[in-house]
Every structure is written in structure tokens, then in C-alpha cells.
Copies of this chain bind each other. A is one copy, B any other.
């Protein structure tokens, strides 16, 4: 792993542990096992690492979803698996996700967000399109729906895990609700 990647991963770890505010550059470089000055060869400031972190997080999300969703299953099962995957990532990286969100929002890096998120939207979009073609979901589904579905699942996961990530019982109920909600929203034919 090169130094830049080391910094990004160390920053993720540090931010998860103590939050952006309390993370010092020195925490990051210590975790990365590099010298203080080396940080500045790759990033001009702590916040400048954010877009790179966001990218990694989206990659993690896509990987989790791809990993969980099994091609041979029914649409409804795959939907459930996707929900599971997103809840899992949200649980494991809730601080980082919240921080990316605010970290990007408060900087000039925000424009990069759409680009970074695109691969995930694209994947979900294709997933829905296939279901539409198969007649499993309503025909009026269109491109923008993918983003709504992602937003819905992520925000519901955040509602659970933001408060206390030990609430797996509540998570189960919430996941069931989201699934039910989505079934209707997408007009799933069982």
C-alpha cells in the first residue's frame, strides 16, 4: 500500500475513533506509520482527505452490496439482501458516513460527491431496470428512483445506528419496515 492509501485508511480509522474535530494530523500520521511532514506531500489539510475517504466508503458499500446480493435469488430477496448490506455498512461506519456527509458539505469538495457516488447509483439503477424488464416491479419506475431507494434505505439505517449501534433488535424491525415500504413503492409482484 502506498503512502497516500495509508493516509486515507489511517484517517478513516482515526475519524471513526474520535470524530473529525478531535482527530489531529498527528493521530493520522501515527496510525499511518509515516512522518508528520509526509502527510502534507499528499494532502493540504485534514479536510482534504474527505473526498478520498468518501470514495473508499462508496467502494465499501458497493462491495458489501455486491457481496450480499445473490444473483439466483428472487427480486424481493435480493432487495432484502441489499437492505441488509447497506444497514451493515451504516452500522460499521456510521461515524465516518456522517462525517463524510458533513465534511463534504462544509467544504469546496462537495461537487465531487456526485461523481464519487455515481457507481453505486448506477448499480442500483441497473438492478431496478432488470426487475422492470422482467415485469417484477411496476413499469413507471425510472432512472431517478434508484437514488430515492438508496436515500430511503440509508436514511432509515442512519435513524437506527446514529443513536446507538447496539440496537440490533430495532434494526430488524426497521429493515422489515423498509422492505415492506419498498415493496409497495416499487409495486413488487410476488
Task: Enumerate chain A interface residues (CB-CB to B < 8 A).
Answer: 18-22, 47, 94-95, 98-99, 101-103, 105-107, 110-111, 113-114, 138, 140, 142, 144-145, 147-148, 151-152, 154-156, 158-159, 162-163, 173-174, 177-178, 180-182, 184-187
Contact B106 A99 (CB under 8 A): yes
Q: How many copies does the complex hold?
A: 4
Name the distance in Å between A117's Cβ and chain B's nearest Cβ. Answer: 9
Residue of B nearest to A18 (CB): B106
Given contacts A99-B105, A173-B144, contact A163 B113 (CB under 8 A): yes
Contact A148 B156 (CB under 8 A): yes
Chain B residues contacting A152 (CB-CB under 8 Å) are 148, 151-152, 155
Residue of B nearest to A105 (CB): B98
Q: What separation, in Å, do the CA atoms of A105 and B101 have in the docked complex?
A: 11
A-B contact pairs, 19 of them (CB 8 A): A19-B105, A22-B106, A94-B105, A95-B105, A95-B106, A98-B105, A99-B105, A101-B102, A144-B173, A144-B174, A144-B177, A147-B156, A148-B181, A151-B152, A151-B155, A151-B156, A154-B155, A182-B185, A184-B184
Name the distance in Å between A164's Cβ and chain B's nearest Cβ. Answer: 8
5 extra A-B contacts, CB within 8 A, seeds A105-B162, A181-B185: A19-B107, A95-B106, A98-B101, A144-B177, A148-B152
